[in-house]
Amino acid sequence: MYQNDSSQGSASNNARIMTPSRGRQYPSRYAIWPVLFLLLLVNLTNGISIIPLNRLLERRLCRAYYDSDHDVDEQLCKEDGVQQDLAWIMGFFDTLWIVGDFVMTIPITFLSERYGRKRILLLNLIPRLFMLLWTLSIAYFEDYLPPRAAIAGASLSVLGGDTVFNSLIYGLAARITEDSVTRAIYFSRMAALTSVVGFLSPAVAAAAMTIRLSLPFWLGTIFLLLAFPTILLLPIDDHVPDDPTEARRPLISSPTLKAQASRASLIASVVDRVHSLVSAVGNVQLALLLLSMFLTSLASADTKLLAQYISTRYHWTFASAGYLLSVKAIVNFFLLTFVVPFFLTTQGSASQSLTDSANVRYARFCLVSSVLGALAIGFSGVIWELVPSLLIYALGVPLSVFTLSLANSSIMWAHARGSGSNSGDPQSHIFSIIMMVKTLGSLVGAPLMATLWYYGIQASFYGSPYIASSLIYLAAWCVFWNMKAD
């Protein structure tokens, strides 16, 4: 597959990428590894902190509920009053993180073009470090900080959260190669890594928190410290290229040069960027694709509730719930690491590129799996029903691979290119658009799922978030049914 990459255009442009800090050239197949390692560190940090944070807050709330000066047995903490308070805190925490991230996405993305991606990625680690250290403060200073003070840990997301990080990291991966099949395989590997880490990290967190509840937060701090030198090794060039032909390449062209050379104010530049992003959405098919991404992002907000859902509905400890969630990683890993890349390579050898119609068909299949899986989770009354439901839900994981491939389709952008926009190639904005749409979906989904979960506990209708999620996935499938991208 790498021969395809190196054979298109100039070998020096497509098969190699410059690392300025080293002054050396690396083949694109090696350039992807530091990207994957950074993705691993950041997602592992996120993943191992969720369950311990839930348990830490539950322990504090449980002690207050029973008016006890010492820790209460975890099984006694599954009372509805405790779980509702926990759902309220976590709902506000997630919403605050997403709001700050979403509001600052455009300004911070512009700053990344003016001051360089590496500096913004380094800045992106600060709110994550603050969240971990603040959580440790909640654990160690119980007499001074109430459980609801944990919400403040999400306040620094205005410096950049998951939206900024993902848009930069996926944009960087797309720059490494210009071959559509190889790019889709990179996306598959990144999705596989994200998914596997997302569901293996609960097992790591469960094992660590059985030793000491604060241990996962210290491990996350170490992972973030390792991320700092990793960012410095990323294959990105933050300087204006001397070669004029290089300056005209779409993914690093006029927006970057304009950001670095323009003397316009930051506000004027941000307004111009908003106008560019809006004008880039040039046809109905692209609008339908973005709408489907919004709906799937909204529906997938239910995954953040899985640990508490399992712990509350089936009266399992959070550590046991973490081990169970790791079972889902087996299917995710197999699909995204072996099945999808093998299929993409086979398709590429036959046609040199994935057709848009094929991507639409496979995305529809993933959405059907998500509909059935979420619905089955919502109606799983006992644990033996939940396990196969999680496996069915996992079959929808490759959806992002096919939607990202569709988003990079030249057909999708034909209208935007023909509109005569002077803001450069509109396709260069694709990852900013996608991540903002997904964040908007999460922004709506986080409080919606938290509210459904809160009142579901009150009414003993625990599956309500997942039934709602199934209906939203069904709406996304209906959107895809109307897409004709061939």
Phi/psi for 442 (5° steps) reads -65, -35
Residue 368 pLDDT grade (very low, low, confident, very high; cuts 50, 70, 90): very high
Lowest mean pLDDT among 38-47, 91-100, 283-292, 389-398: 283-292
The pTM assigned to this predicted structure is 0.70
Token digits for 237? 């060039």
Q: Is the pLDDT of residue 7 over 60?
A: no
* Burial category of 410 from C-beta neighbours within 10 Å (exposed 0-12, middle 13-18, buried 19 and up): exposed
Q: Identify the helix (H) or strand (E) that includes residue 58.
A: helix 28-65
Residue 238 pLDDT grade (very low, low, confident, very high; cuts 50, 70, 90): low
Cα 203 from Cα 320, distance rounded (Å): 8
Residue 295 pLDDT grade (very low, low, confident, very high; cuts 50, 70, 90): very high
Q: Where are the domains of the chain?
A: 17-481
Average pLDDT over residues 131-135: 95
Per-residue model confidence (pLDDT) at position 126: 95
Average pLDDT over residues 226-232: 92
Cα 203 from Cα 206, distance rounded (Å): 5
Average pLDDT over residues 420-429: 48
Q: Is the pLDDT of residue 331 over 80?
A: no
More confident residue, 100 or 235: 100
Cα 54 from Cα 449, distance rounded (Å): 16
According to the CATH classification, is domain 17-481 in 1.20.1250.20?
A: yes
Q: Nearest CA to 45 among 206, 201, 203, 229?
A: 201
Average pLDDT over residues 349-377: 79
Residue 464 pLDDT grade (very low, low, confident, very high; cuts 50, 70, 90): very high
Contact 314, 462 (CB under 8 A): no
Q: Nearest CA to 371 among 479, 290, 485, 486?
A: 479
Measured over the CA atoms of residue 314, residue 316, residue 318 and residue 324, the dihedral's sign is negative
Cα 270 from Cα 353, distance rounded (Å): 35
